[in-house]
Chains A and B, each alone.
Chain A
Amino acid sequence: MKKMLRLTGLLSAVALTAVGCSSGEHGPAEEGKIEGVVQWTMLDYGPMMKDWAEGMAEAFEAEHPGVDVQVTLPPSNSYQQLLTTQVRGDNAPDIAALPTAWVSAFADAGVLVDWTEVVDQEFLGRFEPTLLEGAKFDGALYSLPYLATSRALFWNQGAFAAAGESVAPATWDELIAQGTSIAEAGGADNGIAMQGTGVEAFSAWFPYVYWSNGGELADPDGRLAIDQEACIAGTTVLQRMVEEGVSQPNVTATDSGDMLSLFMSGEAAMTITGPWLIGMLESEAPDIDFAVAPLPKGTTSSTLNVQDAYVLFEGGNTAAAAEFARFLFDPEIADQFVEEQGMLPVLTEGFNAPRYQEGPLKAFVEMLPTGKFVPNDPNWLTLSDVGGRELQAMYTDGKTPEAVCAAIAVAAGS
C-alpha cells in the first residue's frame, strides 16, 4: 500500500512536471540554479504523511536531479520547540510548515524570507485573497498558506432527538439550555465537549466566545488588545458551560484529542472543531448521526479561521526551497493534499470542487469569509499561554470572568 502510494505520487508528479515544463509556468525561482540539499520540515497530519512527503520529495528530485530534499516530520507535540531550538542554534530548515499564528514570532526574530521576493505575482494571484491577507505580518508575506480551516459546531442529531431537539443552537444561551436538557434526557453524558488544556484551550476557545460577543484581538494599530466587555461576556459563557455541567467534568484535563473522542464516542452531544472531524467520524464512528452548523452567536456571528503555511528561513537554500514550494502548490497536488487531510483549499480554483458545494464541508466554506484569524503578533503565544492558565483558574478555582479578563488584558499589554 505504501509503495503504491509513493508510486502514485511519483507518477502523478512526473506527469505534472511534464505539463508544468511545457506550459512555462515557472517564475523567477527557476532562473537561478536549483541544486543542493533542501531540508523540509513538515507538520505531521497522520499516518499517511510520511509516504506522501517522501513521495513528493522523490518526485521533485526526479525533476531536479541536483536537488536532495530531506524530509523531517517531527512529533506534533514538540514541533514548535524543535523549530525554536533549530532557529536559535542557527540550524533552521530551508522550508518548514507551521500554523500562521506562529509566523509572527519567527518573522519578528528576522529569520524568515518574504515570499514576494522569491515568487511572482501571477503565482500569488492563484491564492484565495482572504487567506493570503490573513497570512501577512507587518505588510510582508512571510508565510504561504497551503491549507485552511474554519471552525463549526458539530452536533449529534441522535442525542438531540433523545431530548426532543431537532435544531442546532443558534446562540450560546441556546447551546447551554439544549446541552443541559440533552444530558438530563440521557441523549449523551455531556452537552458539549470542551478543550481545557493544550494550545487551543485558549487560542481557539477564547476567540469562539470573544469574537461572537463583539471583541477584537487587535487595536486599530494592529497591537494585541482585549475588549473587557466582550471578554467578560465571552468567558462567562465558558464559565457557565463548566459550572452548569453542560461540559464534561474534566475540562482542565481535556486536550483536543480527548475532546474529539468524547464526541466520537457519543459521550458528548456537541463540540466545536475543524473539518478533519468529518473524516474521523466517517471512518471511526459511522454510527454517529452528526450535522455541522455555524458557531452559536453572542451579539454577532464569527468563527476562527486557521491556516497552515510554508515559510522559508533566511540563509538556507532559498531558490531550491522556493521551487519545491511551487511544485507542492501545483493545483492537482495541492487539491489532493487538502482533500486527503479533510481541510479547505487555499487556491481559489480549489473551492470549485463539488465536495465544497454540498455536504458537511459546505458549512465550513460558508463560514470562511466571516471568520477571523488570531493576530499575527509575536506576543500571541505568550498571551495564549497566560490565557490558558487563567481559564483553568476560572474552571477549577472559581476565578471570576472579570478577574480573568483583567489578567488577560495585562498579558496582552492593553
Chain B
Amino acid sequence: MGAIPVPAVAVGSRWRDGLTQLAGGGWRLYGYLLPTALLLVAVFAIPLVQTVWISFHAQKGLSPERVWVGLDNYRDLFIDATFWQIALQTIVWTVGVVGFTTVIAFIVASVMQVSFRGRAFFRVVLLLPWATSLALSAVVWRFAMSPYGLVNETISLFGFFDVSIAWLADIPQAGVALIFVGIWVSVPATAVMLAAAMRSVPRELYEAAELEGVGTIGKSLFVTLPLIRRVMLTVTLSNFVLVFNSFPIIYVMTGGGPVHKTDILATYLYRTGFSGSFDTGRASAIAVVIIAVLFVASIIYVRFFINRTKVA
C-alpha cells in the first residue's frame, strides 16, 4: 500500500477542503474516529483536567475536603530545593538510561543482522528481560545487589573491588545500579525495533559500500545509521517518555532513598501523594509539571529532530 501524497496547500485552503469533504459525507470518517476519541477523553483528558484542578487545591490526609489555594502548590514546589534536586536526578536518570540504551541497542541490533551459530538462542536470551515484568526484574536485581548477593559474589570471583559493596544503600553506587537496570530492561525492545528497521535497508547499499572498501563499522555508521535514523529518533522519543515516567524499578529497588537521593519525579509524586501527609494537591502539581515538561520536550524533539529527518 503506497503512501497517500499530501499536496502543499495553504492553511485556509485545507480548511475549505475539509469542510467540503464533510459536506460531501466525509463526516463518516470522523465517525470512525469517535470511539477512539471518546476513549481518549475518558482515560486521558478527564483525568488530566481533574489533576490540574486538584493541583490548585490543598488536600492533605484522608479528608475529602479541598481548599482552593490557587498557584500555591506550584510556588511551594518551585522554591523547594528537594524538588530541584529530584528534577536534576530525573534528567540524569533519563539521559543515562536512554543514551546508553540507544547505543547498546544499536550494537545489539547490528549483531542480530549477522548470521552466526546460536543466533536464535541469542535472540531468545535478548528478549527475556523484555518479557519479564519491570517489577519482577527490579525485585531480582534488588536481591542480586544486596551486600551478599550475586553481583558482589560475581565481582569477587574476578578479584575486583570489595565483595560487600552496599549497592543500593547510598549514591553514587545506587544511581549507577539503577541506571544499569534501566538499561537492562530497555535494550531488548529498542534493539528489536532497530533490528526491524535495519532489515528494511536495501542489501545493494551494503554491497556498494563493500565495493568501495568500507568495513563493518563504516557500513554501520555511514549506511545503516543514516537510513534508520528516523526510526531510531522515534524509538528514542518513546524511550525518553517511558524512562522519564518509569516508576517500578526505582520504587522497588531503593524506594527513592536514601533521603530522596535516588528519587525521580514519578516516585516523588507517589511518595508525596500516597505516603506521609498524603498531600494530593502538591502531588497533582508535580504531575502537571511532569506532563508539561514531557509535552514541551516532545514537541521540540519532533520539531527539530524527527521532522527535519528525511524519510528513509
Alpha-carbon distance between A334 and B271 when the two chains are bound, in angstroms:
35
Secondary structure of the B contact surface, majority rule: loop
Given contacts A249-B164, A253-B169, contact A108 B62 (CB under 8 A): yes
CB distance B62 to A105 under 8 Å?
yes
A:236-291 near B, CB below 8 Å: 248-253, 258, 265, 267
Alpha-carbon distance between A198 and B275 when the two chains are bound, in angstroms:
11
A88 interface hit (Cβ, 8 Å): yes
Most B Cβ at <10 Å: residue of A252, A253, A267: A253
Cβ-neighbour of B62 out of A87, A189, A252, A386 (below 8 A):
A87
A contact residues around B274 at 8 Å (CB): 80-81, 84
A:50-105 near B, CB below 8 Å: 80-81, 84, 87-88, 90, 105
CB distance A396 to B259 under 8 Å?
yes
A contact residues around B276 at 8 Å (CB): 381-382, 384-386
Alpha-carbon distance between A269 and B250 when the two chains are bound, in angstroms:
30
Alpha-carbon distance between A281 and B167 when the two chains are bound, in angstroms:
27
CB distance B277 to A385 under 8 Å?
yes
Alpha-carbon distance between A189 and B164 when the two chains are bound, in angstroms:
10
A contact residues around B254 at 8 Å (CB): 197, 253
B201 interface hit (Cβ, 8 Å): no
Alpha-carbon distance between A84 and B60 when the two chains are bound, in angstroms:
11
Given contacts A106-B62, A252-B257, A378-B61, contact A396 B169 (CB under 8 A): yes
CB distance B64 to A90 under 8 Å?
yes
- The residue of chain B having its C-beta at the shortest distance from the C-beta of A253 within the complex is B168
Alpha-carbon distance between A84 and B276 when the two chains are bound, in angstroms:
12
A26 interface hit (Cβ, 8 Å): no
Give the interface size bracket for A toward B.
35 or more
CB distance A250 to B146 under 8 Å?
yes
Most B Cβ at <10 Å: residue of A265, A389, A393: A389
A37 interface hit (Cβ, 8 Å): no
B contact residues around A90 at 8 Å (CB): 64
Alpha-carbon distance between A74 and B174 when the two chains are bound, in angstroms:
30
B170 interface hit (Cβ, 8 Å): yes
CB distance from B297 to the nearest CB of A (A): 29
Encoded as 1 (CB less than 8 Å from any A CB) or 0, chain B from 144 to 157 comes to 00111000000000
Alpha-carbon distance between A378 and B61 when the two chains are bound, in angstroms:
8
CB distance B164 to A381 under 8 Å?
no
Encoded as 1 (CB less than 8 Å from any B CB) or 0, chain A from 187 to 204 comes to 001000000111000000
CB distance from A262 to the nearest CB of B (A): 8
Given contacts A109-B63, A252-B258, A392-B259, contact A385 B275 (CB under 8 A): yes
Alpha-carbon distance between A267 and B164 when the two chains are bound, in angstroms:
12
Tally inter-chain residue pairs, CB-CB below 8 A: 90
Cβ-neighbour of A248 out of B64, B147, B275 (below 8 A):
B147
Alpha-carbon distance between A3 and B11 when the two chains are bound, in angstroms:
70
Alpha-carbon distance between A197 and B228 when the two chains are bound, in angstroms:
45
Given contacts A81-B274, A249-B166, contact A393 B258 (CB under 8 A): yes
Alpha-carbon distance between A188 and B271 when the two chains are bound, in angstroms:
35
- The residue of chain A having its C-beta at the shortest distance from the C-beta of B271 within the complex is A385
A contact residues around B257 at 8 Å (CB): 197, 252-253, 389, 392
Give the interface size bracket for B toward A.
20 to 34
CB distance from A203 to the nearest CB of B (A): 12
Encoded as 1 (CB less than 8 Å from any A CB) or 0, chain B from 132 to 148 comes to 00000000000000111
Cβ-neighbour of B148 out of A267, A385, A393 (below 8 A):
A267
Cβ-neighbour of B278 out of A84, A248, A250, A395 (below 8 A):
A84
Encoded as 1 (CB less than 8 Å from any B CB) or 0, chain A from 368 to 408 comes to 00000000001001101110010011011100000000000
Cβ-neighbour of A88 out of B64, B169, B271 (below 8 A):
B64
B129 interface hit (Cβ, 8 Å): no
Encoded as 1 (CB less than 8 Å from any A CB) or 0, chain B from 271 to 289 comes to 1001111101000000000
B contact residues around A185 at 8 Å (CB): none
CB distance from B215 to the nearest CB of A (A): 46
A111 interface hit (Cβ, 8 Å): yes
CB distance A397 to B259 under 8 Å?
yes
Alpha-carbon distance between A312 and B306 when the two chains are bound, in angstroms:
57
A contact residues around B271 at 8 Å (CB): 385
CB distance from A113 to the nearest CB of B (A): 15
Cβ-neighbour of A258 out of B146, B260, B280 (below 8 A):
B146
B contact residues around A109 at 8 Å (CB): 61-64
B contact residues around A251 at 8 Å (CB): 169
CB distance from A95 to the nearest CB of B (A): 17
CB distance B62 to A392 under 8 Å?
no
- The residue of chain A having its C-beta at the shortest distance from the C-beta of B276 within the complex is A385
CB distance from B217 to the nearest CB of A (A): 41
B contact residues around A395 at 8 Å (CB): 258
A contact residues around B96 at 8 Å (CB): none
B contact residues around A389 at 8 Å (CB): 257-260
CB distance from A109 to the nearest CB of B (A): 4
B contact residues around A252 at 8 Å (CB): 169-170, 257-258
Alpha-carbon distance between A251 and B174 when the two chains are bound, in angstroms:
13
CB distance from A46 to the nearest CB of B (A): 18
CB distance from B256 to the nearest CB of A (A): 10
A contact residues around B169 at 8 Å (CB): 196, 249-253, 396
CB distance from A385 to the nearest CB of B (A): 3
Cβ-neighbour of A105 out of B61, B259, B261, B280 (below 8 A):
B61
- The residue of chain A having its C-beta at the shortest distance from the C-beta of B60 within the complex is A382
Alpha-carbon distance between A395 and B276 when the two chains are bound, in angstroms:
21
B contact residues around A385 at 8 Å (CB): 271, 275-277
CB distance B255 to A250 under 8 Å?
no
CB distance from A168 to the nearest CB of B (A): 24
B contact residues around A253 at 8 Å (CB): 146, 166-169, 174, 254, 257-258
Cβ-neighbour of A250 out of B63, B166, B275 (below 8 A):
B166
Alpha-carbon distance between A399 and B268 when the two chains are bound, in angstroms:
22
Most A Cβ at <10 Å: residue of B63, B258, B259, B271: B258
CB distance from B258 to the nearest CB of A (A): 4
23 contacts between A and B (CB under 8 A): A80-B274, A88-B62, A105-B61, A108-B63, A109-B61, A189-B164, A196-B169, A196-B258, A197-B255, A248-B147, A250-B167, A250-B168, A250-B169, A251-B169, A252-B170, A253-B167, A253-B169, A253-B257, A389-B258, A389-B259, A392-B257, A393-B259, A396-B261
What 3 pairs between A and B have smallest CB-CB spacing?
A385-B276, A250-B166, A392-B258
| A-B contact sample (18 more), CB < 8 A, given A106-B62, A378-B61, A396-B169 | A84-B278, A87-B62, A88-B62, A108-B61, A109-B64, A197-B258, A248-B147, A249-B147, A249-B166, A249-B169, A250-B166, A251-B169, A253-B254, A381-B275, A385-B275, A385-B277, A389-B257, A389-B258
